[in-house]
Amino acid sequence: MPDLVVDIAVGISVHKTFHYRAPGEMQDLLLPGTRVLIPFGSRRVTGTVIGLLSGVASDGLKQVIEVLDDHLSPELLDLARWMSDYYLHPLGLTIETLLPKALGRAVPKMEKMLCLIAGADTAAPKGPKQAALLHLLKEQGETAVSALDGFSRSTIKSLQDAGLLEITERELSLVPVTEAGIRDKPPELMPEQAGAVAEIGASLFSGTFGVYLLHGVTGSGKTEVYLHSIALLSGTGRGAIVLVPEIALTPQLLGRFQRRFGDRVAVLHSGLTDRERADEYRRIRSGGVDVAVGARSAVFAPFAKLGLVIVDEEHENSYKQEEGLRYQARDVAVMRAKLQAAVAVLGSATPSLESFFNAAAGKYRLLRLSARVDHRPMPEVAVIDLKAQPAEGGYAPALQAAIRERTEKKEQTLLLLNRRGFSSVLICRDCGTAIRCPSCSVSLTFHKPEAKLKCHYCDHVTFAPDWCPSCSGINLKLLGTGTQKVEEELQRLFPAAVVVRMDSDSVKGRQAYETLLGQVDRGEVDILLGTQMVAKGHDFPGVTLVGVVDADIGLNLPDFRSAERTFQLITQAAGRAGRGDRPGQVMIQTMNPGHYAVRHSTTHDYEGFYEEEIQYRRELGYPPFRRLVKFEVRSAQEQIASDAARKAFNRMRTMIRGNDPAVLGPAPSPVARVRGRYRFQILLLSERRDLLRRVALEGKSVVEDEYGRACRVVVDVDPVNLM
């Protein structure tokens, strides 16, 4: 057989693929998506076959060393190609992101399963032990040997020899099944929920691609719509992917899926080891799973046949990966559904402007849930104007009174403050200098328990100085309000109340988070105080008062999405109130009661907010009207970063026609230095993706050619973080 020439994507930072020669006997093993070991320079690396070439001379090409027992499915290879092209990321590196790290190394763990052989006579007497085991298998169906209690191996063996039961092996799920075996009965749906499920179902059975935006107010039972829709896939052999924000992956949520779908649920979260992740991946690929629930990367769950992709809380920023391949999992989910003729459902109480815009334009179909389940009322929202009613120690008198009333009635209060730390800055009253991080251009935040200053952009930690590093003055003062300070003040105002703080300083890791949620659920906490962590997804049935301590914090950030984020945060936090039997109340403290983000959140009026916000985006030509690409140059030397950004900018300017794309900058990034690297950014805006792509890649190659390793270019397509 003649040699074959194959096109291979290698996991390196180069926007091209490479040709290799494969000996004739490998031909049957090589398909697009096959993983291979190849020589690359002086190394051996893993690559992925992306094409088989005919009529190309193999002379002088290096030879494929080995075909690996691993592959990327054709559907995922298509997805990787799209992502590589859309996010301007090399194909080989994109493929590496799609595959779990330990795949191809780990060997799956197997477990032994017992089941009755069809038609076996279980009634005939066989002694009490054997009869009991037969009875159990008849009741429970297939059962793991490890789950049996009190049956000896000889009992099992005798029944096997008698041809009454058989032993099979299956891959062991490493993710513990909570409350195994207990299945719940799906609840009766509200009319709007039932209508949504019916529409999604019609799409599922038509077998064509479609996207739904499920816009349901907080507490309207979106999860139940997901569960019912997934149940429609039962028996079709098509899988479902459910994406949830990492922080919402609680045992509470997973329990709901497992009680409905048993152990055919795979869970993919950041707490898994590489090996566990690879095992779950393989279990999905081998058809042992119907539903994969997970954070961002679960969008790559390798279902060969896919029916449904659900993105819960689709507006969440955490769906955007902020390093390496900077993909937006929500958008990848829609593309994944398209490539596999599946249905995508994006759910939120506060949809992203982009998604609602697509629904308004008819690209997505809009499904509304306008009422809460069980006819619970929406919480009543009051705005406290801090200009008229100053907040003493952070709390206006009206809010203090409301909290007092709750603690006396033994009801729970949830307070949102979107800023960590005791106090924002330590500032010198003599010269006005704020104590800053030595490697980032941000002020350090004071953390009281350790009396230390911490940088929230890098890991820098230091003791608070006794004098000003700039003028040596000793009048250092804490300015601003953080969660720790607000907690102290609360404790002073309500000495008898149990106050618990929840932010990324007090809650380290999944375990701590879940322990805390448990305390709140059991009513052991009177006041829960926290950052945006408390505003997300979790149900607190005992909470009847939600206070937003400072609604203005996010409004003044130099980011065109600041109003959208503020609206989302207030609305989501307000949505935590009154989810149990008692009605809820919400109080919002603000200096800007007239701001449309505040105003519309008080009436739970998403569409009112959307109308004003979309007007502003239209006028300025921001997304969703034009696409945005952030082009950032980073270097340890400020001059190099600045010069390189200027060179890229000048080249880009020569490429534009009629101000398209718009090229803004170059300017220091709002946080101009992080971890010792200076950052300059250029923003590109255009309706045309091909133009953005060409201009961004040209700018990148200009910088890379001239500066090599002295600089790094980060191209972020559809960025969510402009800081």
Of the candidates 369, 349, 348, 355, which has an alpha carbon nearest to the alpha carbon of residue 211?
355
Smallest separation (angstroms) from Zn ion to the CB of 672: 12
Nearer to Zn ion, 140 or 470 (CB): 470
Among 470, 504, 603, 637, binds Zn ion (CB under 5 A): 470
Smallest distance, Zn ion to C-beta of residue 460, A: 4
Determine, following the binding rule CB under 5 A, whether residue 428 of this chain makes contact with Zn ion: yes
State the Cα–Cα distance between residues 451 and 690, nearest whole angstrom.
Answer: 52
Phi, then psi, of 440 in degrees rounded to 5: -130, 155
| The residue type at 93 | L
Angle between helices 329-339 and 74-86 (to 10 degrees): 140
In the complex, what is the shortest distance from the CB of residue 462 to Zn ion, in angstroms, rounded to a whole number? Answer: 10
Whichever of 155 and 433 has its CB closer to Zn ion, that residue is 433
What residues are paired with 586 via a beta bridge? 381, 546
Of 468 and 629, nearer to Zn ion (C-beta) is: 468
Residues 435-464 that bind Zn ion (CB under 5 A): 437, 439-440, 455, 457-458, 460
Rule CB under 5 A: is residue 474 a binding residue for Zn ion? no
Nearer CB in complex with Zn ion: 24/473: 473
* CA-to-CA separations, 96 to 7, 45, 624, 632, 685, in angstroms, rounded: 17, 12, 30, 23, 29
Number of neighbouring beta carbons within 10 Å of residue 235: 7
- Interaction between residue 473 and Zn ion (CB under 5 A): yes
Nearer to Zn ion, 40 or 457 (CB): 457
| Residue 341 burial by Cβ neighbours in a 10 Å radius (0-12, 13-18, 19+) | middle
Please, which residue, 174 or 434, has the CB nearer to Zn ion? 434
CB of 469 to Zn ion, least distance (A): 8
CA distance 662 to 550: 36
Q: Is 222:292 a contact under the CB 8 Å cutoff?
A: no
171 is a contact residue toward Zn ion (CB under 5 A) = no
Are 679 and 672 spatial neighbours (Cβ–Cβ below 8 Å)?
yes
Distances (CA, A) of 198 to 192, 232, 593: 10, 10, 41
Shortest distance in whole angstroms from residue 439 CB to Zn ion: 5
CA distances from 299 to 215, 306, 333, 436 (A): 21, 11, 6, 39
Shorter beta-carbon distance to Zn ion: residue 428 or 525: 428
Taking the complex as a whole, the smallest distance from the CB of residue 486 to Zn ion amounts, in Å, to 24
Q: Which is nearer to Zn ion, 272 or 672 (CB)?
A: 672
Binding segment for Zn ion (CB under 5 A), chosen from 58-66, 467-475, 593-601, 640-648, is 467-475
For Zn ion (CB under 5 A), the number of binding residues is 15
Smallest gap, in angstroms, from Cβ of residue 430 to Zn ion?
A: 5
Q: Considering only 13-21, 166-174, 388-396, 428-436, which stretch makes contact with Zn ion by CB under 5 A?
A: 428-436
Among 430, 521, 559, 704, binds Zn ion (CB under 5 A): 430
Q: Report residue 154: phi and psi, to 5°.
A: -70, -35
* Smallest distance from Zn ion to CB 675, Å: 7
Q: Could you give the CA distance from residue 252 to residue 248 in angstroms, rounded to a whole number?
A: 9
The verdict on 204 binding Zn ion (CB under 5 A) reads: no
Q: What is the DSSP letter of 362?
A: T
Judged by CB under 5 A, which stretch of 334-342, 466-474, 546-554, 599-607 contacts Zn ion? 466-474
**Nearer to Zn ion among residue 457 and residue 616 (C-beta):** 457
- The CA R_g of the chain, rounded to the nearest whole Å, is 29
CB 197 within 8 A of CB 229: yes
Residue 371 binding Zn ion, by CB under 5 A: no
**Residue of 471, 479, 662, 664 interacting with Zn ion (CB under 5 A):** 471
- Contact yes or no for 407/527 (Cβ under 8 A): yes
Does 672 help bind Zn ion (rule: CB under 5 A)?
no
Q: Least distance (Å) from Zn ion to the CB of residue 572?
A: 29
Q: For the chain, how many helices (H) and strands (E)? A: 18, 30
Scanning 176-184, 432-440, 526-534, 690-698 for contacts with Zn ion by CB under 5 A, the matching segment is 432-440
Half-sphere exposure of 20 (CA within 13 A, CB side): 31
Within 577-596, the residues that bind Zn ion by CB under 5 A are none
* Residue range at the interface with Zn ion (CB under 5 A); choices 19-27, 53-61, 433-441, 517-525: 433-441
Q: CB-side exposure of 332: number of CA atoms within 13 Å? A: 34
Q: Confirm or reject binding of residue 715 to Zn ion (CB under 5 A).
A: no
Task: Write out the residues near Zn ion by the rule CB under 5 A.
Answer: 428, 430-431, 433, 437, 439-440, 455, 457-458, 460, 468, 470-471, 473
